[in-house]
Structure 1
Amino acid sequence: MIGELAVCVAGIYVCFLTWQLTQESVTTQSYGGQKFRYFVFLNVAQSLCASLVGYIYLTLRRKKLDLPPPALQRIYLRCSLFSTVAPLFGYASLKHIDYPTMILGKSCKLVPVLLMNFLIYRRTFAWHKYMVVALITTGVSCFMLLHQQEGDEGSAKRGGRTNSLYGLALLAVNLLMDGATNSTQDQIFHRFKVSGSSMMVFMNLISSTLMALYLLLYPFTTELGDALAFCAAHPRIIYDILLFGLCGAIGQCFIFHTLERFGAVSLVTVTVTRKMFSILLSFFWFDHHLTIGQWGAVGLVFVGIGMEAYMKRSGADKGKVVKTTVLQGSSALNSNGKQLGMIDSRKAEKSHQS
């Protein structure tokens, strides 16, 4: 199991590092003196590529793609709606908060996952999971904030943006919706017999449909026509968009496999630590030196990861989702399984964040 998780981690790191580079290429380079600024269209292309790659992956594994029952379709719809709308709150918050606050929020993604698991599904975890989350969240937050401070040394003081309650509220909604997405995906695997690949196909199909409806029906946007005209005028971007979609789709194969086999907490741990480890790699590659504070933060992360690995190996993690109580109400699943209830990066500032 540890070996399988290691392969998933490596796959996520490699695929999304490549995905980030291809995204940078699409969104920042000039095509005939113009830049591509149609991000909803780009997300539609990404989701369609992911659906196609997920279907091909299922076919290669000789697994059928059965139409999910109506109850599961409704849960997929809500989950896809969460994952589609959440980045909008994240992007909006960037106009009202500063960069270190955004870093801190993105480093705390594990907390909303645990919180929404409890609030929506009354699902609790083994005690060591909370220790692991606390260690990793603290370590990643401190490392990223110290890295940002180091990057700002010697530069002009950042201009004027302060944190407003409105911006913090938008960031909180973004994180809570991400947590609701991950906790609902966890619940799907607990209540229905589905594979990660089939979830990948259907969630991306629904997400692409929702975004396409927005492009087609929203009267105050001309993004679809403008994006198609841009592609017709600069055909080279079609190749770049397809490469971007393919890298993200392959990465999603690893993500949904990790989600199916190891759960949302393990998956978010991987995605939260990815940025930190990529920075660490660049430090070692270019022979830079970490501060004592950064070494301490890295140590906290490794203690958390080591604790999780030890508990899994010792078998203490088995069956230790302590309880799952399903609420009656608008945010839960009833006994019949019916739910009642930033591109992974951001361009508004100077760097991508996951």
Structure 2
Amino acid sequence: MTVTNKHSKLFICATGIFVCYFYFGMLQEKITRGQYGDRENREKFTYMFALVFVQCLMNYIFAKTILLTVMKQGEDTTSTLYYALSALTYLLAMVCSNMALQFVSYPTQVIGKAGKPIPVMILGVLLGKKIYPIRKYIFILLIVIGVALFMYKDGNVSKKQSESYLSVGELLLLLSLTMDGLTSAVQERMRAEHKSKSGHMMLNMNLWSVICSGTVIIISGELFEFIHFLQRYPFTIWHIMTFSIAGAFGQYFIFLTVAEFGPLPCSIITTTRKFFTVLGSILIFGNNLLPRQWLSTFIVFSGLFLDAMYGKDKSKKGTAK
């Protein structure tokens, strides 16, 4: 591959990630925070397991198609138990993240989820016995400070709002981050023990997520309520389908970027796109930020960018003492 072709391919991958996830983020906010019905009969979208079911089903179909046509990766020897465990934590992370949007703004959700390296590193140390360089702890500390500053409740926030809506949203984000950390820990074991490939991970994790979420929505009755909701507001079918398609294409571009250019360019691209997604949410949906929150947003993304640039280390397993 020539330098020009390589740069062109990187540009295509970066553009794909930006466009797909920007559209994905805007639709996620529109679906989960939108008001449906007339003024007398307002209702919100509350079918989070059903939404994730559709999303994972689309990811599975997309991954199956890619593996059969473009990204053939040979035989997969990974344990089914690993796929089932990672799918469960992956599913819960997405559900909690979507549910959090019923209580917090989209910029708050993005900033909160930007703290994903925190549980990943903690669980990497506790479960994977990994050793990280001091600079990585400093970069992660920056992210912690930024997220804490962003989430800090000002004195002029009403006590009722502080104790109900925001606390529930933050708890859901915390749970989502914990599930992200567990997912990464299981995936590390999969790579270490079975050399699991990205395409196989995407296929099988989404398959098990479809099975789990499908079981939940059938037993709970959410499936039928979700179908009735779509019958009342048929325009949401287009939003949900394009939201899921954008997410599937976004995942593919991420996997392609990692495979062709490595995790560093991918980390920089995804970090940058999150920042512009926050800006897009502010401009399109009018989610205003306080000066303190602008500062904390800068701190969080500075920590993420520095971690992407200089925090990667050939982390090795520590010896048990």
CA–CA distance in 2 between the matches of 1:72 and 1:123? 22
Tell me how far 1:160 sits from its aligned partner. 1.7
Aligned mate of 1:322, from 308, 315, 318: 315
Partner of 1:206: 208
Residues 131 and 190 (structure 1 numbering): CA distance in 2 closer, same or farther, change over 3 Å?
Answer: farther
CA–CA distance in 2 between the matches of 1:96 and 1:236? 24
- Using the TM superposition, name which of 74-83 and 37-46 deviates more: 37-46
- CA deviations on 1:60-103 (whole Å, 9 max, x unpaired) are 4251564x43x521111111111222455667889999999978
Tell me how far 1:204 sits from its aligned partner. 0.7
Partner of 1:54: 63
Q: Which runs of 5+ in 2 are unaligned?
A: 1-5
- Using the TM superposition, name which of 176-185 and 22-31 deviates more: 22-31
Tell me how far 1:178 sits from its aligned partner. 1.6
Q: TM-score, normalised by structure 1?
A: 0.65
Structure 1 position 160 matched with structure 2 position 153: no
Partner of 1:244: 243
Tell me how far 1:302 sits from its aligned partner. 3.9
Partner of 1:127: 134
The one-letter code matched in structure 2 to 1:109 is: K
Structure 1 position 17 matched with structure 2 position 22: yes
Number of aligned pairs?
305
Tell me how far 1:105 sits from its aligned partner. 4.8
The 8 Å contact of residues 97 and 161 in structure 1, kept in 2 or not, is answered as no
Q: Which runs of 5+ in 1 are unaligned?
A: 328-354
The one-letter code matched in structure 2 to 1:248 is: G
RMSD: 4.8
CA–CA distance in 1 between the matches of 2:206 and 2:178? 20
The 8 Å contact of residues 128 and 308 in structure 1, kept in 2 or not, is answered as no
Structure 1 position 111 matched with structure 2 position 118: yes
Structure 1 position 41 matched with structure 2 position 43: no
Q: TM-score, normalised by structure 2?
A: 0.70
The 8 Å contact of residues 58 and 248 in structure 2, kept in 1 or not, is answered as yes
Residues 258 and 326 (structure 1 numbering): CA distance in 2 closer, same or farther, change over 3 Å?
Answer: farther
CA–CA distance in 1 between the matches of 2:300 and 2:173? 25
Tell me how far 1:58 sits from its aligned partner. 2.5
Partner of 1:182: 184
- Using the TM superposition, name which of 3-12 and 222-231 deviates more: 3-12
Tell me how far 1:198 sits from its aligned partner. 1.9
CA–CA distance in 2 between the matches of 1:160 and 1:289? 21
Structure 1 position 305 matched with structure 2 position 312: no
- CA deviations on 1:28-64 (whole Å, 9 max, x unpaired) are 2647987654222121111000111122223342515
Tell me how far 1:243 sits from its aligned partner. 1.0
Partner of 2:3: none
Tell me how far 1:208 sits from its aligned partner. 0.9
Residues 326 and 39 (structure 1 numbering): CA distance in 2 closer, same or farther, change over 3 Å?
Answer: farther
CA–CA distance in 2 between the matches of 1:289 and 1:163? 20
Higher relative helix content: 2
Identity, % of aligned positions = 25
Residues 72 and 8 (structure 1 numbering): CA distance in 2 closer, same or farther, change over 3 Å?
Answer: farther
- Specify the SS of the correspondent of 2:160: coil
- Specify the SS of the correspondent of 2:314: coil
